[in-house]
Structure 1
Amino acid sequence: MLQEGAHGKWTVSSSDESTEENSDSEKPSTSSLLDAARGRTSGPQYPCSEARKAAHKRKASPLKLGDKSFSTETPPAGKQRASQEGLGWCLSSSDEEPEDQEKHAHKETQKEEKCDAPKEHALNLSGDDELSENQQAEDYNETLSEAQDTWDLLNGGNPFRFFLTKVTGIEQSYNSGALHIKDVGWLVRQYPQEFRKKPLLIVHGEKRESKAELLAQARPYENISFCQAKLDIAFGTHHTKMMLLLYEEGLRVVIHTSNLIAEDWHQKTQGIWLSPLYPRLPQGTTGSAGESETNFKSDLISYLMAYNSPTLKEWIDLIQEHDLSETRVYLLGSTPGRYQGSDKEKWGHLRLRKLLKEHASSIPAQESWPVVGQFSSIGSLGADGSKWLCSEFQESLVAAGSSVTSLLKCDVPIHLVYPTVSNVRQSLEGYPAGGSLPYSIQTAQKQLWLHSYFHKWSAEVSGRSHAIPHIKTYMRPSSDFQKIAWFLVTSANLSKAAWGALEKNGTQLMIRSYELGVLFMPSAFGLDKGYFHVRGKMLSEGNDSATYFPVPYDLPPEQYGSKDQPWIWNIPYTNAPDTHGNMWVPS
């Protein structure tokens, strides 16, 4: 697929569980993307977390049901922490508990100039230089057929500007209105050859040997520069996924849930918020010009300033020069640190609490509405719910208006959506999809109480294969699940590292990681009733699509049955084959 419109200035951040997928047998680490740009190749590498490594190994060497030439013993906790140093850009989840967590992350920024084709195709790229002529022709024809639909979609077809990524192997109706990066070969090859030497700023969280390796690989290239994301609190990661795309016509901001690696754009349910194309302000404009009613511009600048890096000043200045007034969402981020006083409400779950108190409408009987959290990883939350989930975190989720709910927090239902073993086994990828769900047995055994809140992942017709979620969403639906008071799509999984935890008798909020998301509030979309309508199924097609918020899974969520178990990545599953006839032994 020939995408001459694949230009722009990219700020791409990715950590989480990440790996590249060039084929079923070889997935280089993200650092090898630089090798690809230089024409160098290398043997198979095993980047990022232990969970992703296990997924890579099982894809490369699948074990069929009945194969007894393996051990099904669960590996001890101490053996799960193999060193990640020396693997280049080793990416990690920010959400396992500190003692079990891998700690590597990265964020990339790219500069590209304008091309002739429609610029709206920045997220719909292909650049595989090794495609056959026939394949190139087929892809080009497909590009032409999709171009106008995509242009229309990005320019008003979706009032919420919230999209899912496409997957294959499901009914086409479930891909309606989805975006994707096609044939991700990978990042460097996404651009036309003539633009691959444009300035590239990489914002990363690497340290020690892995940082030295990263710098060494880029040393021959004068166009590559770096910005260190400071992670001064142990076990935090750089987990934000964001792009800033600069065109001659303006600036676009993209906040999403997928790492910019092939595996995350293949057969996963991911979320994308795509901003309008922000025009440049007239020269000499100063002050608060170009600000939205949601304060998005100043909040985005505050987030970038939190890196405390002179190299990001160019981006801050560029944002200042553009008109972001058409933005209808609120920015909700996390940055590492310990915050007191009014600073407590700038980040994490206290930021969510503040936004809901200020902008959520009071709705009759809303006190009994449940809260729903959906995520792909889980941290250590304590010995029982009172330690964090059902205390400070839930208090933030149920905040509405200026008044505090009169209902006891324990009476507000909490629905946590996380895939079961069966969900993973029956997914499009089968068991290897579980490499993107790094909930470890060491963490799970400490918080068995949490599993009583779990609900199945259900994103299409029962009995059919589905895409495992890497998206993370939180919302407040009505008791009948026909309305939602607000909706959040974010990089933040269910963890204190991501959302923050109160310290010193509640006077201080401590956050370990960088996270970023956008909050959808009905009032910002002119809905004076205080809620969005939703459907029971996630379809978003039809003439009334603008009146329904596209929740990416079925409502109401279905609670785990007596035989359901949450997916845990580092134990074997050999009783039943997955959709490819394989079993899971993560050794």
Structure 2
Amino acid sequence: MSQESEHGKWTVSSSDESADEQAEGGKPSTSLLQQTGRDKGSGPHYSCSEARKAAYKRKPSSLKRNNEGLTCEMAPAQKQKPSQEGLGWCLSSSDDEAAPKAQRGKGGATASTRQEEGCGAKEPASNHKLPLSHKSTESSDRVQDAWDLLNGGNPFRFFLAKVKGIKSEYNSGALHIKDILSPLFGTLVSSAQFNYCIDVEWLVKQYPKEFRDKPLLIVHGEKRESKAELHEQAHPYKNVRLCQAKLDIAFGTHHTKMMLLYYEEGLRVVIHTSNLIDDDWYQKTQGIWLSPLYPKLPPGAAESAGESHTNFKSDLISYLMSYNSPTLSEWVEIIKQHDLSETRVYLLGSTPGRYQSSEKEKWGHLRLRKLLKEHATQVPDQDSWPVIGQFSSIGSLGADQSKWLFSEFRDSFISLGNRAKTLTNHDVPIHLVYPTVDNVRQSLEGYPAGGSLPYSIQTAQKQLWLHSYFHKWSAETSGRSHAMPHIKTYMRASPDFQKIAWFLVTSANLSKAAWGAFEKNGAQLMIRSYELGVLFLPSEFGLDLGYFQVKENMLSDEPVLSFPVPYDLPPEKYESKDHPWIWNIPYTRAPDTHGNMWVPK
């Protein structure tokens, strides 16, 4: 089958209709890596998507890493850039990307792991070996800078992750996971890590030595063989417990990325976009929200004490209770004992289930709709303010924009205060920011960066209509144009892109699995996955005009309440020669920054 469009030509011999997969977690039923004939043992020893496995096997062996990152900043592919005109997409056969996670790692991993209610028993020690790790990013002056930053002029408490291989000035105000876990931020008593892809050995090493034996709870969504392998990884660490998130609806994932850090001095909540693996904290654009240090409430304080204007405390407790886990109930009790009243953001989560009546508004895109209606401020001519979505992967959205993108997603995202007028499908523009093939090719990592952008050919070929909304990834003002985004952000911007009515950083990609989809003629909202993010509204920062000014330069001394959008505005629309990155097709017309091509199978 051949399809022509302004976005290129695909030649596809067969395709299967897939379910609406979680955009990052959707996986082919047949491992593409197994088809290469390579030894499975040469892949990552932690569970991850097929796209990341392909990227792992294609990391350039000649890449030199040191404490300062790459030895040069000019990418070779920028010096020799063949024309991309006429570049097509091709695939000899297709797989159902929505199948459950492929069997991963060693075939000998035990399958007798006990089912976890709250925390499960650990399995025998793993023989897996870690791949060559990136060099330590820890230095005392850098941690002190991070401490000064956290307690200085950043009222939003929104940070980017540090990136190796870019100018140091562009890492000003950025954080590494070792900064977040530094003893300068608190004397750790215990912690909980919620995530999708987890390398236990690497994670433990990110904690300072004095905290590595403190109780650590890892909340995950692994099942069967991959769950057994996670138990193997955790076995050597007697302080590590595992808690399995229930995923009872097919194709859902535990995609939430959160840290709960309990200190002698108080409690901190961190909501971010990075997996707990080395690659995600190395050369990718990631987002981080760090809460203030929440002090402990005095003994005998009322149960309702310590709540913020944004109801963050009760919403966080509600989110944790949705797991139905005795282990997480312990963390609920810890949260109840602390004063979260200084929180200025709203919590926005998704949890798997089918919701009706008022329950529909607790999660997903209807949760955002409710928050914007109740707490956002209307602005003049707001019908002309576009919705901007930026993400690292895409699920199946339907045969045209009316099936979900406009009828559900956009209807929730355009809400600004209570309003009587109902907008038509063409009133509010939508701009979708997703990397092009050339963005990935010219990135610091080269083509392997596309392993964390798992948009598949099987999904893309069914929704060519979507690509007319695509805009390039560009982040010159933050110095991250060549650090591919794993961050996910959404906002409502003014027509001149100098103001934003709200900003959301979240784990949720552009998918029904993450945001929810209506069933029963809109009477029911079905969500497949766990997701979590925070919403910034101007009113919570003392701005009565209904918008933030956009910070034009991430490094400038603009007004403290100018919002640091992590990519360039206005977004640049795809040109005719541009194609969205598709992970499971080859790219052999031009080499990447390390002189390599991309052939995923």
How do 1:211-360 and structure 2 match up within 5 A? 211-216=227-232, 218=234, 222-360=238-376
What is the Cα deviation at residue 463 of structure 1?
A: 11
Is 1:202–2:208 an aligned residue pair?
Answer: no
Q: Is the 8 A contact 1:88 1:211 kept in 2?
A: no
- How far apart in 2 are the matches of 1:395 and 1:88? 46
Partner secondary structure for residue 311 of structure 1: helix
Between 503-512 and 177-186, report the one with greater CA deviation.
177-186
Q: Is the 8 A contact 2:391 2:487 kept in 1?
A: yes
- C-alpha distance 464-303 of structure 1, shift in aligned 2 (>3 A): closer
Is 1:432–2:448 an aligned residue pair?
Answer: yes
Deviations 1:435-491 (CA, angstroms, capped at 9, x unpaired): 110000000000000000000000016999611000000000000001000000000
- How far apart in 2 are the matches of 1:453 and 1:349? 20
- How far apart in 2 are the matches of 1:383 and 1:389? 10
How do 1:336-485 and structure 2 match up within 5 A? 336-460=352-476, 466-485=482-501
What is the Cα deviation at residue 582 of structure 1?
A: 1.2
- C-alpha distance 428-176 of structure 1, shift in aligned 2 (>3 A): same
- How far apart in 1 are the matches of 2:491 and 2:481? 25
Name the count of aligned residue pairs: 501
Of all paired residues, the percent bearing the same amino acid is: 73
How do 1:142-153 and structure 2 match up within 5 A? 142-143=139-140, 145-153=141-149
Between 339-348 and 164-173, report the one with greater CA deviation.
164-173
User: Counterpart of 2:585?
Assistant: 571
What is the Cα deviation at residue 219 of structure 1?
A: 5.1
Partner secondary structure for residue 364 of structure 1: coil
- How far apart in 2 are the matches of 1:391 and 1:158? 36
Q: Is the 8 A contact 2:217 2:242 kept in 1?
A: yes
- C-alpha distance 15-447 of structure 1, shift in aligned 2 (>3 A): closer
Partner secondary structure for residue 59 of structure 2: helix
What is the Cα deviation at residue 50 of structure 1?
A: 1.3
Unmatched tracts of structure 1, length 5 or more: 1-13, 19-41, 67-71, 90-105, 110-127
Is 1:85–2:81 an aligned residue pair?
Answer: no
Partner secondary structure for residue 151 of structure 2: helix
- How far apart in 2 are the matches of 1:561 and 1:450? 15
User: Counterpart of 1:24?
Assistant: none
Q: Is the 8 A contact 1:475 1:487 kept in 2?
A: yes
User: Counterpart of 2:54?
Assistant: 54
What is the Cα deviation at residue 61 of structure 1?
A: 6.5
Residue type matched to 1:177 in 2? G
Partner secondary structure for residue 498 of structure 1: helix
- How far apart in 1 are the matches of 2:585 and 2:309? 49
How do 1:60-99 and structure 2 match up within 5 A? 74-78=91-95, 84-87=102-105
- How far apart in 2 are the matches of 1:387 and 1:88? 41
User: Counterpart of 1:160?
Assistant: 156
Q: Is the 8 A contact 1:16 1:259 kept in 2?
A: no
- C-alpha distance 242-465 of structure 1, shift in aligned 2 (>3 A): closer
Partner secondary structure for residue 77 of structure 1: coil
Deviations 1:541-586 (CA, angstroms, capped at 9, x unpaired): 3432513100000000000001110000011111111111111111
Residue type matched to 2:145 in 1? D
Q: Is the 8 A contact 1:421 1:564 kept in 2?
A: yes
Partner secondary structure for residue 54 of structure 1: helix
Deviations 1:139-181 (CA, angstroms, capped at 9, x unpaired): 77x41x2243222211132010000111133343332211113
- How far apart in 1 are the matches of 2:210 and 2:291? 27
Partner secondary structure for residue 490 of structure 2: strand
Is 1:176–2:193 an aligned residue pair?
Answer: no
- How far apart in 2 are the matches of 1:232 and 1:495? 18
Deviations 1:518-556 (CA, angstroms, capped at 9, x unpaired): 0000001110001000044xx333432513100000000
Q: Is the 8 A contact 1:15 1:238 kept in 2?
A: no
What is the Cα deviation at residue 330 of structure 1?
A: 0.1
- C-alpha distance 388-394 of structure 1, shift in aligned 2 (>3 A): same
If each structure's helix is expressed as a fraction of its own residues, which one has the higher value? 1
Q: Is the 8 A contact 2:354 2:525 kept in 1?
A: yes
Partner secondary structure for residue 415 of structure 1: strand
What is the Cα deviation at residue 225 of structure 1?
A: 2.6
- How far apart in 1 are the matches of 2:535 and 2:480? 31
- C-alpha distance 430-305 of structure 1, shift in aligned 2 (>3 A): same
What is the Cα deviation at residue 206 of structure 1?
A: 1.7
TM-score, with structure 1 as normaliser: 0.79
Residue type matched to 2:579 in 1? Q
- How far apart in 2 are the matches of 1:220 and 1:462? 40
User: Counterpart of 1:506?
Assistant: 522
Q: Is the 8 A contact 2:44 2:56 kept in 1?
A: no
